[in-house]
Amino acid sequence: MDFINGFVTLANFVIVPGLAYGAQLALGALGVTLIYGILRFSNFAHGDTMAFGTTMTILITWAMQAAGIGFGVLPTALLALPFGIALTALLVLGTDRAVYRFYRVQKAAPVILVIVSMGVMFVMNGLTRFIIGVEEVNFADGGRFIVTAREFRDMTGLQEGLAIRTTQVITLITAAIAVAALFWFLGRTRTGKSMRAFSDNEDLALLSGISPERVVAVTWIITAALATTAGTLYGLDKSFKVFTYFQLLLPIFASAIVGGLGSPLGAIAGGFVIAFSEVTVTYAWRRVLTYWLPDDLAPSGLVQLMSTDYKFAVSFGILIIVLLFRPTGLFRGKVI
């Protein structure tokens, strides 16, 4: 019984939140890795693309709420998401046309494109702040819990409860759908195949008549969709704040690099690796260990390896370990 109680505590505080966070990171890392694979630079504006997409979704959510449109127990933001994606896609396509294309035609060095993306990040950050401000926004509505801790206790008769929030389940389902759609697209459709060909060998792809501008445009649209979805899910699960999204850049890049830059499968694995490391290292294990260990071994302290303030240090530590020992990442990304 003690073992099950310990496990339920673990599920409540580590496994369920870790899964949701991992899915959010994986979606973010997929966007970074796609841009890297096709356009061949690290897009530092990705965090702020997520913030912009979420802002658009929030505005449309508000408009829908004002018009009395709801989604039942599900958050209205899910209805608004397609519109948010469309607006974000317009923004990134416009950015590509106005900014990135010039450097692509010139065949500028990747590091120049990285600096350019830093400028884009500045502008997008300013734009998002301009539109929605810097305050924290909570936009989740609908049912809050699928199972509350009390219901779970009553149902099972255990001492510990397991609360599963709607947003966590939505995150996992939406992420699964998005990933399945992406892999189907990359693997089965003509456009997806031409994208992979372009990523593998640009010259060969051009010779066989693949239009580079089309591939790039499709990549940006997919990235906008992934970024907006990731941002909205993160915002629903926690809350929306411009600066937090900028800070997500580090775990997202860490996920992409740990998985192997340029490898979509790696991005997903990396997202979960980073999320679970972050949650397990910053979790206070005392309660779980009290259940699991014999009484005389029960810990007196919190058994927290690191305080939650250092969660970035976890992504960073894993990043450094990967750079030192396996710079191509778990799934052998494109180049070191």
Residues 224-263: x/- map of binding to another protein (CB under 8 A)?
----------------------xx-xx--xx--x------
User: What's the sign of the alpha-carbon dihedral 200, 40, 334, 216?
Assistant: negative
* Orientation of helix 212-237 relative to helix 46-66, angle to 10°: 60
SS3 state at 314:
helix
What DSSP string runs through 255-271? HHHHH-TT-HHHHHHHH
H-run or E-run covering 222 = helix 212-237
Q: Min. distance of Cβ 270 from another protein in angstroms?
A: 13
**51, 286 in Cβ contact below 8 A?**
no
CA-closest candidate to residue 35, choices 166, 224, 192: 224
Which of 96/160 has CB closer to another protein? 96
Q: Is 177 exposed, middle or buried (0-12, 13-18, 19+ CB in 10 A)?
A: exposed
What type of residue is 38? I
Which of 95/171 has CB closer to another protein? 95
Residues 81-110: x/- map of binding to another protein (CB under 8 A)?
------------------x--x-------x
Q: Which of residues 29-58 bind another protein (CB under 8 A)?
A: 41-42, 44
* Gap between the Cα atoms of 76 and 170, Å rounded: 12
Which of 66/207 has CB closer to another protein? 66
Q: Which of 34, 89, 92, 120 binds another protein (CB under 8 A)?
A: 120
Which of 99/172 has CB closer to another protein? 99
CA-closest candidate to residue 330, choices 253, 250, 251, 265: 265
Which of 111/155 has CB closer to another protein? 111
What type of residue is 132? I
Rounded (5°) CA angle 261-264-268: 100
* Gap between the Cα atoms of 257 and 219, Å rounded: 19
Q: Is residue 312 a contact residue for another protein (CB under 8 A)?
A: yes
Q: Is residue 134 a contact residue for another protein (CB under 8 A)?
A: yes
- Contact window for another protein (CB under 8 A) among 22-30, 186-194, 199-207, 299-307: 299-307
**260, 279 in Cβ contact below 8 A?**
no
Q: Which of 3, 130, 295, 296 binds another protein (CB under 8 A)?
A: 130
Q: Is residue 119 a contact residue for another protein (CB under 8 A)?
A: yes
Which of 76/125 has CB closer to another protein? 125
Which of 5/125 has CB closer to another protein? 125
Q: Min. distance of Cβ 201 from another protein in angstroms?
A: 19
Q: Which of 15, 115, 158, 265 binds another protein (CB under 8 A)?
A: 115
Which of 75/259 has CB closer to another protein? 259
**238, 20 in Cβ contact below 8 A?**
no
Q: Which residues bind another protein (CB under 8 A)?
A: 41-42, 44, 99, 102, 110-112, 114-116, 118-127, 129-130, 133-134, 246-247, 249-250, 253-254, 257, 301, 305, 307, 309-310, 312-313, 315-316, 319-320, 323-324, 327, 335-336
